């Protein structure tokens, strides 16, 4: 199979599972954008047929890998022999290298096309089932963290269709490849440092959880489980929400729900915030409002400032809060404008994209309405 065909196949297979990554993953900021069950203490590596296999390279002969292994021994007390054994089984994934390369310039961004991938019957129906099956965990998370069930349902649905598409790349293969063989790019050194940190976090998490690091599967960027947490975020934000004594984002819907809520709170979600996440808006022809599109992924403008610049919402904004202006480009069609609250921007810290955060909002709303109608 030609390389282009292979890459297209892999991308199609993982696009739902890796539709978006946490805030510190690949994307740069842009304005357009249960039941408790006993689980085994240790899991064996997945059979080769269950994940994308790569090319054998002797990573133990790579100077940078040797230095990384030495740091893991010195900083965290890992066994050098165990690390050498691990890296002798790690594979180089050229498909991952191709997938992280920037996409060539193409058509203008199109919110309608983008959102149609996520707000569609299969995902909505799956969301209704997920909500019904995990109503207790969702209610507990909402009470504990203040994050509404529909936001949690929307986010997990956008990420992996509720665990259906969590990725078939071995995380250690992916992260080792990107940590030491990232493709040429202006930000190559920074990206390699990021993925080395994630590889370090993977090994720490695997040791802490008592699992074989080679058993972890995820996206082409190393994100894991139903919520597609990068390994460092597993260490920082993942919680044992089903109370079985261990954190399992791959198999426990309750752990995924609680962990997403904890992540959002850790990135600025305010439980006491009144009103909606976003408000439809119109903008004046004067274009004085354009300066408010450069405010970054943060709510920092007063309602009266937006009004003075020609931004008008279809319903009143709750007073005493700060907001931001969001633009959703629609290809050749008119751009949509929304005024966003602080909690909307907390979602953008999961993935730094307006398109992503709005998809979470719209999918959660669609699931809630469908569930209510049924």
For the stretch 166-196, pLDDT in tens is: 999 999 999 999 999 999 999 999 999 999 9
| pLDDT in the model for residue 50 | 77
Spatial CA neighbour of 341 closest among 264, 277, 289, 270: 277
Q: How far is CA 176 from CA 5, 47, 172, 204, 234, in A?
A: 24, 19, 6, 15, 18
| pLDDT in the model for residue 106 | 74
Spatial CA neighbour of 210 closest among 40, 38, 82: 40
68 SS3 class: helix
Q: What does 237-277 look like in DSSP terms, one character per residue?
A: H----S-SSS--TTT-HHHHHHHHHHHHHHTT--TT--S-S
- For residue 183, the 8-state DSSP code is P
Q: How far is CA 307 from CA 43, 186, 241, 302, in A?
A: 57, 40, 43, 9
Q: Does 19 score more than 50 pLDDT?
A: no
- Within the chain, which residue ranges are assigned CATH 1.10.8.350? 45-92+167-218
Among 18-32, 102-116, 358-372, which is the least confidently predicted range?
18-32
> In the CATH hierarchy, which top-level class contains the domain 45-92+167-218?
mainly alpha
Q: Report the distance separating Cα 29 and Cα 32, nearest Å.
A: 9
- Within the chain, which residue ranges are assigned CATH 1.10.530.10? 111-166+224-266+357-374
Q: Do the beta carbons of residue 90 and residue 68 sit within 8 Å?
A: no
Q: Does 26 score more than 70 pLDDT?
A: no
Q: Does 2 score more than 80 pLDDT?
A: no
Helix (H) or strand (E) holding 233: helix 231-237
Angle between helices 121-133 and 149-160 (to 10 degrees): 130
Residue numbers annotated as active site: 159
Q: Does 113 score more than 60 pLDDT?
A: yes
Fold of 111-166+224-266+357-374: Lysozyme (1.10.530)
Token look-up 């440092």 returns 193
Give residue-wise pLDDT tens across range 290-344: 999 987 899 999 999 999 999 999 999 999 999 999 999 999 999 999 999 999 9
| pLDDT in the model for residue 82 | 98
pTM: predicted TM-score of the whole model, two decimal places: 0.86
């Amino acid at each position: 199979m030609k390389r282009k065909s292979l890459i297209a196949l892999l991308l199609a297979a993982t696009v739902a599972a890796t539709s978006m990554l946490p805030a510190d993953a690949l994307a740069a900021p842009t304005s357009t954008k249960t039941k408790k069950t006993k689980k085994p203490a240790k899991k064996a590596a997945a059979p080769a047929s269950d994940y994308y296999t790569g090319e054998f390279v002797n990573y133990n002969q790579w100077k940078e890998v040797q230095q990384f292994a030495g740091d893991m021994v010195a900083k965290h007390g890992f066994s050098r022999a165990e690390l050498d054994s691990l890296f002798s089984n790690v594979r180089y994934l050229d498909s991952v290298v191709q997938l992280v390369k920037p996409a060539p310039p193409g058509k203008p961004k199109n919110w309608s096309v983008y959102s149609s991938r996520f707000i569609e019957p299969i995902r909505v129906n799956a969301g209704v089932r997920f909500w019904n099956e995990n109503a207790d965990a969702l209610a507990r998370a909402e009470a504990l963290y203040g994050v509404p069930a529909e936001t949690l349902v929307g986010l997990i649905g956008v990420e992996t269709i509720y665990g259906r598409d969590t990725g078939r790349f071995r995380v250690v293969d992916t992260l080792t490849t990107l940590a030491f063989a990232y493709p040429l790019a202006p930000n190559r050194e920074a990206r390699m440092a990021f993925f080395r940190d994630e590889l370090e976090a993977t090994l720490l998490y695997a040791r802490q959880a008592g699992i074989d690091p080679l058993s972890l599967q995820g996206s082409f960027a190393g994100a894991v489980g139903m919520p597609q947490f990068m390994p460092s975020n597993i260490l920082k934000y993942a919680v044992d929400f089903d109370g079985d004594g261990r954190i399992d984002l791959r198999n426990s819907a309750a752990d995924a729900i609680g962990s997403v809520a904890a992540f959002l709170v850790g990135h600025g979600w305010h439980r006491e915030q009144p009103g909606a996440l976003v408000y439809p808006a119109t903008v004046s022809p004067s274009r004085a409002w354009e300066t408010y599109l450069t405010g970054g992924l943060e709510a920092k403008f007063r309602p009266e400032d937006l009004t003075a610049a020609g931004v008008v919402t279809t319903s009143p904004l709750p007073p005493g809060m700060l907001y931001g202006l969001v633009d959703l480009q629609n290809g050749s069609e008119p751009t949509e404008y929304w005024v966003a609250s602080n909690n909307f921007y907390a979602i953008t810290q999961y993935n730094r994209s307006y398109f992503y955060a709005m998809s979470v909002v719209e999918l959660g709303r669609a699931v809630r309405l469908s569930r209510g109608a049924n």
